[in-house]
Amino acid sequence: MGRQNRMMQVGIWWWIVLVWVGIQIYGCGGCWEQERVDLLQLKTSINYPNGTSLPSWEDTESDCCHWEGVVCNITTERVIKLLLNYTRDNYRLGKWYFNASLFLPFKELRELDLTDNGLAGWVTNEGFDRLVGLEKLQILTLDVNRYNNSILPYLGVLSSLKTLRIKGNNLNGSIHFQDLCAMSNLEELDLSDNWINHLMTTKGTKCLNKLRVLSLKEENFSPSVLQSLKAFPSLKNLSLQIQGLVIAKDLGALNNLEHLNLDYSSINGSFLQNVGVINSLRVLSLRKCGLSGSLPSKGWCNLKNLELLDLSENDFEGILPSCLGNLTSLRILDLSFNHFKGNVSLSSFVSLEYISLSHNHFMLPFSCASFCHLSKLKVILSDNITISVENEFQSWVPRFQLKTTNLGINCFDLSNRPSFEYDALLNSQQQVVFPTKKMSYVYKGKLLNLMSGVDFSCNQLTGEIPIEIGNLNEIRALNLSHNHLIGSIPSTFSNLRNVESLDLSYNNLNGSIPSQLAVLNSLTVFSVAYNNLSGKTPDMKAQFSTFDEKCYEGNPYLCGPPLQNHCANTELPSPMQNGSDNEDNDEESPAPYYKHQTSENDHDFITPNGTTWYPTRGRNCDIGDVPDQPAWSCFVKEDPRESLSLLSEESCSSSAGHSY
């Protein structure tokens, strides 16, 4: 037993010695010391003669795995990625010549990105073919440099590469894929935005057999290029621009294709009749291809596996063919910026997640019934389309959970609204200008998950505000201004505990301002200006103590601070009532007398008690005869679309000091 213990102790001692030796050689808790030295040599080359790029690459004890553009394996701490895109100041320093010897020390390198560094050639005997020594290199990106066709044979020997990107260089004329045949593992090739007009392949030669993704965008090919591409049997994803008549024979060569992007090509309408031969297609994008006329009822309608269809920015017209309903797998449908008319039936698109119908001439009103069963719907874009809510859907509960909606300048009639459940919180996954607190911020990416708001301003909304909007308790902004809304402000708005901006101005709301709104402690922008509200303003406490008179102006029957109109002991009459609540007293109490006076800029109405109504200055008001009751509205005549935001121009900002 003692002998075994001694042997175990000796083994542990040797293990400690080996760890100590490793620490002395390679350092502790950081990149390899030799790779640090090699990176500093690379920095010198990049900055030659007097550049200042990569300031975090310092000759200190800092961990080079944390340097800009350097990614290390978390276990071995060897450099596996060098992301040096847009690093060299090539506009000031001029051309840079590639030197393979600077990269060969990084034996574990898997990805190298040298985008936009002014590369125009290479040092003698140090070209890209030397990178064959980096057996683990899989991704090489040389976008936006100055290489021409001569680079291709040198790249062609890099058999380990799976992805090669040479977008935006000076490749031109004919490209012979024979130069790349040794790249037996290549799966993705991007030659976009060069000057290529012809592809040459050799029949019977097994070349690039694993190529799955080919991008040739921003080029100018004839349709015959499609015949050349049948040399790549594994091709699944193709993006290119072609000019001319595409026939069925050309497309038949691509019968394994799943993704076809021909955006900005110049093709004719027969393409859609012939594309049905590629029955494996899942994505078809034909944005801005100059297509016109009516959609054919055959060909493209046979693409039953299609998940994305983009026909936007063309000149299509007429009604949508019924065969569109065959595409039951569609997840994304973009028909925007065409001249389609008629109605739209979406009930068969059970997988639909995104739809854009904007800027067409579809039949008005567009029926919400079309959305009933679309449980996966997340995005609806329908600018310039009127949407109606049918009476038969009084108990409709939407099955979808919207993430983005843009209803543009629509006309919702909420006078017979259904009892929606507004648990679908509206936010955006795109870059969004989000104004709150009288400040505008741009949000994008993951930050949008923290921001949300609803903007239905400057539409023609009518009817009462649905009380269910109060269920949107995570929104930061609500803008319903510049509409024709009537009725009272829902007390359920007190549930909007996170709201920072609330704008209900320029409507026809009546009744009092709910006292429950005093609990909105995050509120810093508030406006109910230019409505028919009455009664006392909220107590000047908490957030409401920071709002000034402009937040309430244009409501002649409101009283109390910060307004100059003091409240009497008796409650002021509602704008929707006569002078007396007791109909029996009508004969003894004459109707209020209204005097119309004209000033230089305004049309004012003077009541017997001295209250003056001031319609919006500079806006046209359709008033007509003054009625017995002061229930009139002044609606904005000019088009308000120039300023659509979650904070209208007339909204009031908190006068309290805030830091942003």
Report in angstroms the alpha-carbon separations of 619 from 149, 172, 457, 610, 627: 65, 60, 17, 23, 21
Res 46: pLDDT: 93
DSSP per-residue string spanning 270-299: HHHHHGGG-TT-SEEE-TT---EEPPPSSS
Res 47: pLDDT: 93
Pick the most confident of 156-170, 203-217, 233-247: 156-170
Supply 75's token pair.
Answer: 């276990």
- Tell me if 244-398 shares its fold with 425-580+618-660: yes
Residue 448 has pLDDT above 70, yes or no: no
The larger pLDDT score, comparing residue 421 to residue 476, is at 476
CA 512 – CA 397 distance, rounded (Å): 30
CA 185 – CA 159 distance, rounded (Å): 6
> pLDDT over 70 for what percent of the chain?
69
The larger pLDDT score, comparing residue 478 to residue 344, is at 478
At 273-298, the pLDDT tens digits run 889 889 899 999 999 999 999 999 88
Read off the pLDDT of each residue in 314-329 and give the average, rounded to a whole number: 91
At 400-411, the pLDDT tens digits run 555 555 554 443
The CATH classification number of 425-580+618-660 equals 3.80.10.10
Read off the pLDDT of each residue in 483-499 and give the average, rounded to a whole number: 91
Residue 243 has pLDDT above 70, yes or no: yes
Res 197: pLDDT: 87
CA 235 – CA 253 distance, rounded (Å): 11
At 83-124, the pLDDT tens digits run 999 999 988 899 999 999 999 999 999 999 999 999 999 999
Residue 537 near residue 559 (C-beta atoms within 8 A): yes
The larger pLDDT score, comparing residue 497 to residue 387, is at 497
Half-sphere exposure of 257 (CA within 13 A, CB side): 26
Supply 21's token pair.
Answer: 């030796």
Residue 31 near residue 41 (C-beta atoms within 8 A): no
Q: What is the mean pLDDT of the chain?
A: 76
Q: Provide the pLDDT confidence category of residue 543 given band limits of 50, 70 and 90.
A: confident
Residues 477-490, buried b or exposed e (16+ Cβ, 10 A)?
bbbbbbbbbbbebb
Residue 454 has pLDDT above 60, yes or no: yes
Q: Provide the pLDDT confidence category of residue 250 given band limits of 50, 70 and 90.
A: confident
Domain ranges of the chain: 244-398, 425-580+618-660
Nearest alpha-carbon partner for 492 in 477, 512, 473: 473
Read off the pLDDT of each residue in 458-472 and give the average, rounded to a whole number: 84
Supply 179's token pair.
Answer: 């130069």
Q: Which helix (H) or strand (E) holds 240?
A: strand 237-242
Give Cα 425 distance to the centre of its chain.
Answer: 16
Least confident segment among 149-153, 168-172, 343-347, 522-526:
343-347
> What number of residues does the chain have?
660
Pick the most confident of 12-16, 17-21, 267-271, 373-377: 267-271
CA 450 – CA 448 distance, rounded (Å): 5
Res 225: pLDDT: 84
Supply 410's token pair.
Answer: 């629509």
Res 426: pLDDT: 31
Contacts of 583 (CB under 8 A, 6+ apart): none
- The label of the residue with tokens 């909220």 reads 538
Residue 371 has pLDDT above 90, yes or no: no
Contacts of 657 (CB under 8 A, 6+ apart): none
The correct CATH number of 244-398 out of 3.80.10.10, 3.50.30.30, 3.40.50.970, 3.40.50.720 is: 3.80.10.10
Res 588: pLDDT: 35
Question: Looking at 579-631, which runs of residues are DSSP E strands?
Answer: 595-598, 603-606, 612-613
Residue 240 near residue 221 (C-beta atoms within 8 A): yes
The larger pLDDT score, comparing residue 399 to residue 488, is at 488
3-state secondary structure 65-103: HHCCCEEECCCCCCEEEEECCCCCCHHHHCCEEECHHHC
Residue 260 has pLDDT above 90, yes or no: yes
Q: Provide the pLDDT confidence category of residue 542 given band limits of 50, 70 and 90.
A: confident
Read off the pLDDT of each residue in 334-356 and give the average, rounded to a whole number: 86
Residue 637 has pLDDT above 50, yes or no: no
Number of Cβ within 10 Å of residue 536's Cβ equals: 16
Pick the most confident of 188-192, 242-246, 605-609, 647-651: 188-192
The larger pLDDT score, comparing residue 466 to residue 388, is at 466
Q: What is the dihedral sign for C-alpha 234, 238, 241, 244?
A: positive
Q: Provide the pLDDT confidence category of residue 202 given band limits of 50, 70 and 90.
A: confident
At 576-597, the pLDDT tens digits run 444 334 434 333 333 333 333 3
Contacts of 96 (CB under 8 A, 6+ apart): 45, 46, 48, 88, 90, 117, 118, 119, 120
Least confident segment among 6-10, 62-66, 544-548:
6-10
Residue 180 has pLDDT above 60, yes or no: yes
Res 380: pLDDT: 78
**pTM for this entry:** 0.64
Supply 315's token pair.
Answer: 């000149």
DSSP per-residue string spanning 25-80: HH-SSS--HHHHHHHHHHHHHHTTTT----TT--SSSS-GGGSTTEEE-TTT--EE
